[in-house]
Amino acid sequence: MPQFSDITPTLARQAIELPSWAFGNSGTRFKVFGTPGTPRTPEEKIADAAKVHELTGLAPTVALHIPWDTVDDYAALGRHAADLGIALGTINSNTFQDEDYKFGSLTHSDARIRQKAIDAHLRCIDIMHATGSTDLKIWLADGTNYPGQDSLRARQDRLAESLATIYERLAPHQRLVLEYKFFEPAFYHTDVPDWGTSLAHVSALGDRALVCLDTGHHAPGTNVEFIVMQLLRLGRLGSFDFNSRFYADDDLIVGAADPFQLFRILHEVVVGGGLDEGSPVRFMLDQCHNVEDKIPGQIRSVLNVQEMTARALMVDRAALEKAQADHDVLGANEVLMDAFQTDVRGELAQWRAARGLPADPMRAYAESGHQRRLEQERVGGTQAGWGA
């Protein structure tokens, strides 16, 4: 098994993008609980993201959601982020909160509505130019609720055409990442339900179109690490949306529901070169914190990813390959499990301290009194959340 010092150069490169919306209030369709201290503006969400980076050194960028994070001056927002020690990252488009999109956005049968949805994405690209963001991430709520409601085939054709128009507008340094999800909010069919459909579309677009894999967007029992392997193998894994699911798209803290699955995913990332220098794979969180505090929720999440990455890097690759070549089934499995069962928390804490970070970022945050200060300062106004 490698020594901890062997894996620190890779760990030092790890960067996990935070979603601005994780800092806003969110919830289920039953109730959205307001949390004292919740940001009221995009600037305050960015400040919260910067706090996570300050304590962990793991989250140098924050993703924006348009229109939730609409401001007059995006370049100024970028400067605000830079002043706080982070940068603006992926721009996420939103075509799911407008009456016009009731029956679809980029797939809509009415050319006028399709154009409106395309224009929303072109605006996102303009914002990317102002912020210096390189990724446009598209997740579509498009789909139908009843068999026969619309032509499945025609919707794919319209989607392909809309995506091509958006892709054409990207600058050479920009990328499009297309996320898939098998259901919700549409319940009969979704227009980009799975990695195969996403791959078909991005392959037709060009080299700068890639797939976004949200770990919560699969049916129970799906072998997610296989998908990771295949997309890496084909050079089309653009990004992860990390979160945990128990039942469906639960958006819980990554590594909370099934740490072993996170380990298996990160093992495939390591083996497939996803953590190598120059890798096209970006790591993001896509989570909501409905009942827990949001900043420590995000701190816990990036630490979980870091810890499981460390364990995946601890796999004795030579021993694994030998056992595999020898068809030593139990031996190969043991090599993998040895790394998974290795407790790296102590070494990670020491390594953090050696780099001037708190050994225990969760505790450092709790003891800093920051949460209390936010609760006192952020009164009045409307708390940001889904739709705000």
- Summarize as ranges the residues that interact with Zn ion (CB under 5 A): 214, 241, 249, 286
179 scored as a contact of ligand AOS (CB under 6 A): yes
What is the DSSP-derived secondary structure letter of residue 68? T
Closest distance between Zn ion and the C-beta of residue 225, in Å? 18
Considering the rule CB under 6 A, would residue 17 count as an interface residue with ligand AOS? no
Q: How far is the CB of 181 from ligand AOS (least distance, A)?
A: 5
Among 51, 65, 108, 245, binds ligand AOS (CB under 6 A): 65
Question: By C-beta, is 74 or 139 nearer to Zn ion?
Answer: 139
Q: How far is the CB of 63 from Zn ion (least distance, A)?
A: 10
Nearer to Zn ion, 178 or 320 (CB): 178
Q: Residues 286, 312, 352, 385: which binds ligand AOS (CB under 6 A)?
A: 286
Does position 121 bind ligand AOS by CB under 6 A?
A: no
In the bound state with Zn ion, the residue whose beta carbon lies nearer, of 249 and 316, is 249
CB of 141 to ligand AOS, least distance (A): 8
Binder of residue 65, out of ligand AOS, Zn ion, none (CB less than 5 to 8 A by kind) = ligand AOS
CA distance 313 to 11: 9
Nearest to 127 by CA among 162, 168, 183, 89: 89
By CB under 6 A, residue 244 contacts ligand AOS: no
CA–CA distance, 22 with 69 (Å, rounded to integer): 12
Output the smallest distance, CB 217 to Zn ion, in A.
6
Distance CA 388, CA 385 (A): 5
Angle (deg, nearest 10), helices 294-313 and 42-56 = 40
Q: Residue 58 CB, nearest distance to ligand AOS (Å)?
A: 20
242 binds ligand AOS (CB under 6 A): no
Q: Tell me whether residue 197 or residue 315 sits nearer to Zn ion (CB atom).
A: 197
Q: Which residue, 139 or 167, is less far from ligand AOS as judged by CB?
A: 139
Q: Does 191 bind ligand AOS (CB under 6 A)?
A: no
Q: How many CA atoms lie within 13 A of 156 on its CB side?
A: 14
Distance of CA 177 to the CA centre of its chain: 11
- Which residue lies nearer to ligand AOS by CB, 286 or 307? 286
Contacting residue, 21, 101, 195, 351, with ligand AOS by CB under 6 A: 21
The minimum distance between CB 271 and Zn ion, in angstroms, equals 24
**Residue 234 vs residues 70, 92, 167, 229: alpha-carbon distances, Å:** 35, 24, 20, 9
* Helix ranges restricted to H, the chain: 4-13, 42-56, 74-83, 111-131, 152-169, 195-205, 224-233, 259-271, 294-313, 317-325, 329-340, 345-354, 361-368, 370-377
DSSP code string of 17-64: EEEGGGGSB-B-SS-B---TT--SSHHHHHHHHHHHHHHHS---EEEE
Write out the residues near ligand AOS by the rule CB under 6 A: 21, 65, 92, 139, 179, 181, 214, 241, 249, 286
